[in-house]
Amino acid sequence: MINEYYILKHGNQEGPYTHTQLMDMGIGSTDFLISPLADGPQQAADLPEFREYFISVGIYMPTPQNVATFWWRLLAFIIDYIIVIVGLVIGFGAIGVFIGLTHRSVDFESPDLDLFYRVLFFLALVAYHSTFEATTMQGSIGKLICKLIVVDPDGYRLTFGKALARNFSKLLSSLLCGIGFLTILWNPMKQAWHDQVAKTYVIRKGQ
């Protein structure tokens, strides 16, 4: 029958199942299926009839067609950069008010605090991006506005640990005048160095 599929698990063939039954079972993108319309076993994500199903459950398989371009990622970064700076300014403003009320004296413009500000800003960016990438949003507010999400090689949402590793790896991408970010321009899957290290992809939804 044309609607019969078989699942390969541990070398064994299970089935037959219909297309609807497989979706009700919560078929995974990396599960191998024998399809009546394909030659040999294939991953479910490679079968076009399951594409809409995976998207509906939040699984976006990275392909050369749907990975986000450098310019979309740059726009999202600019939005996020502004958000983090505004957040830090508000935070420091609140601290300044508290210090004023307690009659303490702190020179926020001291050159000795420059490194502290840089480290704090980087850590704020890491925490901000990692937290949002591990939520159902799968990306920061800037990425949400630009319809971008971050996924693993199988199209799934990142764990917080993987998101944290990805964002700390941005230190690597920032080396040599940021060439690690510019690799998005010529990499076939539009990956920066930190994406390659963490094995992640930035997808533009709707592509």
**What's the pLDDT score for residue 97?**
67
CA distances from 14 to 1, 54, 98, 156 (A): 16, 21, 66, 24
pLDDT tens figures, 60-71: 999 999 999 999
Give the model confidence (pLDDT) of 95-111 as tens digits: 666 666 666 655 556 66
Nearest C-alpha neighbor of 198 from the set 173, 176, 174, 178: 173
Question: Per the confidence metrics, is the pTM higher than 0.85?
Answer: no
160-168 and 114-133 are packed helices; what angle lies between their axes, rounded to 10 degrees? 140
With H, G, I as helix, E, B as strand and everything else as coil, classify residue 28.
coil
- The mean-pLDDT minimum among 25-29, 39-43, 88-92, 109-113 falls in 109-113
Percent of the chain with pLDDT over 90: 49
Picking from 47-56, 104-113, 120-129, which range would have the lowest pLDDT averaged per residue?
104-113
What are the φ and ψ backbone dihedral angles of 156, each rounded to 5 degrees? -95, 160
Give residue 75's pLDDT band: very low, low, confident or very high (50, 70, 90): very high
d(CA 110, CA 101): 21
Which residues 6+ apart lie within 8 Å of 128 measured at CB? 80, 83, 84, 87, 140
CA 42 to chain centroid, in Å, comes to: 25
- pLDDT on residue 1: 47
Instruction: For residue 42, list its beta bridge partners.
Output: 33
Q: In which element (H, E) is residue 9 found?
A: strand 5-9
Q: What pLDDT band is residue 117 in, cutting at 50, 70 and 90? A: confident
Query: How confident is the model at residue 39, as a pLDDT?
Result: 74
More confident residue, 22 or 131: 131
pLDDT score at 118: 83
Residue-wise pLDDT tens digits, 139-189? 999 999 999 999 999 999 999 999 999 999 999 998 888 899 999 999 999
Cβ atoms 175, 185 nearer than 8 A: no
Predicted pLDDT of residue 95: 65
- Tell me if residue 61 falls in helix, strand or coil: coil
Residues 81 and 25: their CA atoms lie apart, in Å, by 41
Q: Average pLDDT for residues 72-90, to the nearest whole number?
A: 94
DSSP state of 63: -
Mean pLDDT over the full length of the chain: 87
pLDDT the model gives residue 109? 62
Helices (H), 29-174: 51-56, 70-101, 114-133, 141-145, 160-168, 170-173
Kindly give the pairing relationship between strand 12-17 and strand 41-43.
Answer: unpaired
